[in-house]
Each structure stands twice: as C-alpha cells, then as structure tokens.
Amino acid sequence: MPRQALVLITALVLALHWLVLHGVPLAWDSPQQPMAGRVFSTRSVAAAPPAPAPVAAPTAAPTPPAAIAAKPVVRRRQAPPAPSPAAADPTVAAPEASVQVAGAEASANSTAAAPAPDIATPSTATPASPPPAEVPASGASAPSAEETTAAGIDIAPPGSGTDRTAGAPPPPVRIPAPTRLVFDVSGQAKKFAYNARAELLWQHDGSRYEARQEVSAFLVGSRTQRSVGAITAQGLLPEKFSDKSRSEQAAHFDHAKGRVTFSANTPEAAVGPGAQDRLSLFIQLGAMLAADPVRFVPGTQVTITTVSARTADRWTFTVEGPETLDLPAGPTPALKLLRLPRKDYDQKAELWVAPSLNYLPVRIKLTQANSDFADLLLRSSGAP
C-alpha cells in the first residue's frame, strides 16, 4: 500500500511540473487567441464552361528573304562594365566606425584573439532600404497591420503625442560587452505557483552576435529561445529567431525584401528598418539607452516592430524612470521601461535595465491577460 501511494504522489508531482513549464510566458511569448473568436465562411463557385476547341490557323506562307532583309534592325544596348570587386562586395565585414562597443577599448586585444561564437553564418549583406510607404489620401482607411509593421523605429519625446520621429535617422547604439546573466524566476501559470532558473547568454565578435535565453524547471526540462544575426551601425540585425520546447518554431528575416517568414504555417509579415525579435529586443533597447541616455528622459516612448516565432507587431515602451531594485544579486540602480497592453491577449511587459551592466536587463516581468505572470530577477552576472 505505501508503494502505491508513493507512485501516485510521484505522478501528481510530474503532472504539476509539466503544466507549469508549458504555461510559463517565456520571453515575450504571446498567448494564442481562442478558436471561438474566429469565423469561417464558405461559398460555391460555378464551374466554368469548357473552352471551345481551338481552330487551326491557316498555314502562313514562308517569308521571302527580301522581306526578312527589309525588317528594321534592333540594336541591343551593351551592358555597362562590371564594377570593381571592391565596389560590388556589399558584405558586412565589420561594424561601421559609428558603432560603439562597450568595453572595446579595454579588451581590444583579447577580443581579437577570442574565437567567434559558434553560430550560423548566413549572408550578412547590407539590406536595401524598403521603399517608402505611400501616404493615404484624405479620407482613406487606416494603415493595415502589414503597413504598420513595415515602419522603422519611432522615438517620441514626452508630450509629443503622435508626433513621432518617423523617417528620422536611426538612433546611435552602444553594444554591450559579452555577458552571462543568471536569473531567479517566480510566477504563476494556470493557477499554479512555480519557481525556475533562467540564463541569458549574450555573445558577439564585433560583427556578428548570438543571444540565447534558457528557462529550466526541476524534473521537467527547459525551454530555449535564440537570436542570431549581424551587428551594424544601427545595432542588431536579426536573421533568425527560434523558440524551442518540445518542438522548435522559428522566424527568418529577409531585410533586403523587408519580410519575415515563419515555420509555424502563419502568413509572412512586413518588417521595417530596426525590426527586432523578442530576444534581441532586450539588447537593442539597452544599446540605444547606453549610447544616448540623456535623450531617454521619463515619458519618452520607443516603438519597434517586434517579431515572435509566429507573428510581428509594433511594441511601444515608455521610459518610466530610475529605481533601485532589491535583487538576489544585491541592490541595483536601474531604469524602468513599461509596455502596456493595446488589445485583447496582449501582455504587460515591465523591463528594468542597469547602467552598471551597459543597460542589460536585470529584471523582466511579464503579465498575461489572464493574470499569469513570470518575474525574472538577476542573481549574478559575469563573462560568458
């Protein structure tokens, strides 16, 4: 009898842990909308009548040689000479001179000797700027979701309302040095409280980067998100974002075409300059703040197209102001940014970045529409 009770208790514990892990709202993961909200309709299409049989055309008489000679001669324009290899190679061999890398002055020699992170190496060609969106005529309908996500980074100072910096030059960035951040995670998922451990690993070699976040729970396993791409004068240029638990879903960026495609059988989406995924977003926001902290006073709003493994959307963060957090790592001065939900099933996202860590995140709190939440608190930081 005690053996049967032990087996029953063990099965119950494993079931609870399974529910907890698959309910964790990890790294900006958006909940799916219920199927009941979707409406499907069908219609009948009448079959087209069969096409009439083709009528054989009369055989044309052969053209006499004189007629052929009389035809005007069309001269083809000669192709321009090929550009020199130096002018034709668009690859990004290294970030431009305007890119700032935190700690680069002190560790230039060690960085040059360190091997590049073990990441995929897709083409790093400089993306062509997408054509400007057409301005709708007076009385036209509001821009579609695709037109919205094709916009670039907007920065609105306090009190500017909708007067954003659309079309303005991209803000400068200061890329943080490679770092490993370890977090304690607590929260609620499907009415169950849970505790877990998370790690955010940030690596780069000056021209390419990899960011990886993993959340693990006892007896259950882990869930991993990964972003890889290039580093440019405007910051991070994501090329692939993946989210893996039991299976993997991914988003692939094509910046030259201004598109992103998904492996989850969802429609592709438009993305504009500065678009980020839901992991590189952490680093990009901090890099912008680190390069020009005076610009981001409380009340400033930053809007960036943000891509998950299934969809793309515009996210707006408001700079709330400085706070001192009581973290497992100790008291930490930080700057808070807040994203409030705009529509049903949106998340509330609270992000704290620390100037002492080159504006990397030291606390992340995500709250779902059903009140489930995950709260990541920094325990330690160090070199990778």
* pLDDT surpasses 90 at 244: yes
Burial 256-285 (b: 16+ CB within 10 A, else e): eebbbebeeeeeebbbbbbbbbbbbbbbbb
Q: What is the pLDDT of residue 35?
A: 44
Closest by CA position to 124, among listed 230, 41, 205, 280: 230
Residue 173 burial by Cβ neighbours in a 10 Å radius (0-12, 13-18, 19+): buried
Rounded to whole angstroms, the Cα distance separating 196 from 216 reads 6
When pLDDT is cut at 50, 70 and 90, the band that residue 124 belongs to is very low
Closest by CA position to 155, among listed 317, 6, 35: 317
Cut 0.75: pTM above it: no
Name 362's Cβ contacts closer than 8 Å, sequence gap at least 6: 181, 325, 327, 329, 332, 334, 352, 353, 354, 377, 378
Distance of CA 219 to the CA centre of its chain: 30
Q: What is the pLDDT of residue 189?
A: 85
Residue with tokens 């930053």: 302
**Count helices and strands in the chain by DSSP H and E runs:** 6, 18
Q: What is the pLDDT of residue 154?
A: 93
Q: What is the pLDDT of residue 167?
A: 55
Between residues 76 and 359, which one has the greater pLDDT?
A: 359
User: How many residues comprise the chain?
Assistant: 384
Q: What is the mean pLDDT of residues 161-167?
A: 55
Helix (H) or strand (E) holding 88: helix 85-88
* pLDDT surpasses 60 at 215: yes
Rounded to whole angstroms, the Cα distance separating 144 from 270 reads 11
Residue with tokens 């916009």: 151
| Residue 213 Cα distances to 138, 222, 279, angstroms | 46, 10, 8
* pLDDT surpasses 50 at 130: no
* pLDDT surpasses 90 at 11: no
Single-letter residue type at 197: R
Q: For residue 203, what are its two tokens?
A: 């690596």
The pLDDT tens digits for 81-97 are: 544 443 434 333 344 44
Give Dmax (Cα) for the chain.
Answer: 108
3-class secondary structure per residue, 180-220: EEEEEEEEEECCEEEEEEEEEEEEECCCEEEEEEEEEECCC
| Percent of the chain surpassing pLDDT 70 | 62
The pLDDT tens digits for 131-146 are: 444 434 334 445 566 6
